[in-house]
Each structure stands twice: as C-alpha cells, then as structure tokens.
C-alpha cells in the first residue's frame, strides 16, 4: 500500500508523519490517526495500513516530535519495566491542547493534497490519542465529521484540557470504545463524558469491551484479536457512514 514519509511544519517545529493511501484511483476521504504513548513503530504503521484498506487516506503524525529522536519502542519489553519512566518524558511533550494545536498544520497539509475528497475528515486515537482525537474534533468542528477513541484515558477530568469540555463545540459523530476495569477511564468518568455529550446534543455511540486497556494494539501484551476486529468493524462503519469511506 503506498506510503509516504512527509514533514509538516507546526507552530513548534517539524513533525514527521506517514501518509498511507489506498490502492487504486482516488480521491478518498482522509483521517488523522492520533498515536498511543508507545510512539511511532511498525504496529502503528500496520494499523494505518489497515485503515487505509477501507478506502481512506491516513495521516499518522509523530506527536513526540518536540522530544526529538526516540525508539522505536517494543511495548512488550517496555511494559516489563518502569514504563512510566521510559514513556513519561515523551508524553510530557504533548497533550490534548498541543495535539489540537498541531492539528491546524495537519489540516493545512491535507488541504494541499489532490487525492482528498471533501473538507470533512475523520479522527481516530488510541490510548493517549483518544483524548487528542476528541479535542481536535472539538477545536476544528467545521472540519471533522467523525472522531473515535479506543481505550482512551482521562476523557472527562477536572483539567482545563479535558476532552469532555469540547462537547458543546463538537459537530462530529463520535465513537467511544472503552475497556472493562480501566483505571484511566472508570465508569464514573464514562458517565461524566456521556452526560456532557448528551446535554450538548452530540451524536455518539459508547461501548465497553470485555477486554483490557490497550486491547486494539497488536504489539501490546493485552492485545485481543476478537475484540480488536469488533473495534475495527465499528470504526469502518463510522467512517462509511460519515465520510462515505469504503473500497
């Protein structure tokens, strides 16, 4: 599947990004893929290719660009030790607010491409990226038609950058895939997010999977192929419905 490595100039520096396009003639709808805390690695690119196979141009930016060179990390090895000590310094360089600010440049880049169909795009994020996808969709409501979060954490907190605060601005249809017994997204937090979305009139679907936090990531120890396929199906359905994506 055709893949390009590009450099996108943001307010804070140069961000490397992969662009994966479907096989065959375009144009296609576009989706921004917000990575997890494990950073850019082969699994991320494989997931981007899986999404592109659904008839979508996928932009996968390296949100740790402010940190500088790193990894690539092997999550199964990282989780054997103090993963917070390893990944924490990288995670500290980004966040919902910074990712949303970076999205201005990502959208501008997509607008330069001749293979993108329409202005309405999608967003999907995993773990750390789940909140970033929602915050970006709320920051640029006229550009995002859909956004999805899979095992995203801290989606409704007291922080000023909490994703649930964007509910009144959202125009995108949302999909929220949560994990059972997820300390980063407990039931009370899910209730708080869903309440905010409902009161704001946001179209959304929220589901809790009988799986562990990180179940969608193929290189995580907790990867659940059955639950992951269900998640991919839900994501494809969302983008077919809102972006008219599909081979």
Over 70: is that where the pLDDT of 23 sits?
Answer: yes
pLDDT category, 139, cuts 50, 70, 90? very high
What is the C-alpha to C-alpha distance for residues 157 and 163, in angstroms, rounded to an integer? 8
Over 70: is that where the pLDDT of 247 sits?
Answer: no
In residues, how long is the chain? 247
What is the C-alpha to C-alpha distance for residues 187 and 222, in angstroms, rounded to an integer? 20
Please state whether the predicted TM-score (pTM) of the whole model is above 0.85. yes
Over 80: is that where the pLDDT of 245 sits?
Answer: no
The mean pLDDT value for 225-235 works out to: 98
Residue 79 in 3-state DSSP?
coil
The mean pLDDT value for 70-93 works out to: 90
> What CATH homologous superfamily does 3-243 map to?
Alpha/Beta hydrolase fold, catalytic domain (3.40.50.1820)
Angle 20-23-29 from CA coordinates, rounded to 5°: 60
pLDDT tens for 48-75 read: 999 999 999 999 999 999 999 998 999 8
What is the C-alpha to C-alpha distance for residues 51 and 42, in angstroms, rounded to an integer? 14
Over 90: is that where the pLDDT of 81 sits?
Answer: no
Angle 23-56-131 from CA coordinates, rounded to 5°: 145
Helix (H) or strand (E) holding 175: strand 173-179
Percent over 70 (pLDDT), the chain: 99
pLDDT category, 154, cuts 50, 70, 90? very high
What is the C-alpha to C-alpha distance for residues 62 and 115, in angstroms, rounded to an integer? 22
pLDDT tens for 168-187 read: 999 999 999 999 989 999 99
Average pLDDT of every residue of the chain: 96
How high is the pLDDT of residue 246?
Answer: 60
Over 70: is that where the pLDDT of 240 sits?
Answer: yes
**Strand residue runs (E) in the chain:** 3-10, 13-20, 30-34, 57-61, 121-126, 144-150, 173-179, 204-209
How high is the pLDDT of residue 181?
Answer: 86
How high is the pLDDT of residue 84?
Answer: 86
How high is the pLDDT of residue 27?
Answer: 95
Residue 218 in 3-state DSSP?
coil
């Amino acid at each position: 599947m055709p893949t390009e490595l590009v450099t996108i100039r943001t307010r804070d520096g140069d961000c490397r990004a992969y662009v994966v396009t479907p096989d065959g003639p375009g144009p296609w709808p576009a989706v921004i893929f917000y990575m997890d805390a494990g950073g850019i690695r082969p699994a991320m690119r494989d997931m981007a290719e899986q999404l592109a196979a659904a008839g979508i141009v996928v932009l996968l930016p390296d949100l740790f660009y402010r940190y500088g060179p790193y990894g690539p990390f092997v999550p199964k090895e990282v989780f054997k030790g103090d993963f917070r000590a390893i990944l924490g310094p990288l995670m500290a360089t980004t966040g919902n607010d910074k990712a949303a600010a970076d999205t201005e440049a990502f959208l501008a880049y997509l607008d330069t491409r001749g293979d993108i169909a329409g202005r309405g795009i999608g967003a999907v994020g995993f773990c750390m990226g789940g909140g970033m996808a929602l915050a970006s969709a709320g920051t640029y409501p006229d550009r995002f038609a859909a956004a999805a979060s899979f095992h995203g954490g801290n989606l409704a907190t007291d922080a000023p950058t909490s994703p649930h605060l964007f509910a009144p601005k959202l125009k995108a249809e949302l999909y929220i895939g949560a994990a059972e017994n997820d300390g980063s997204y407990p039931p009370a937090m899910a209730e708080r997010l869903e309440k905010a979305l409902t009161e704001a009139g946001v179209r959304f679907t929220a589901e809790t999977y009988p799986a562990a936090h990180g179940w969608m990531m193929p290189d995580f120890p907790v990867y659940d192929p059955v639950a992951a396929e269900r998640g991919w199906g839900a994501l494809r359905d969302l983008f077919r419905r809102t972006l008219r994506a599909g081979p």
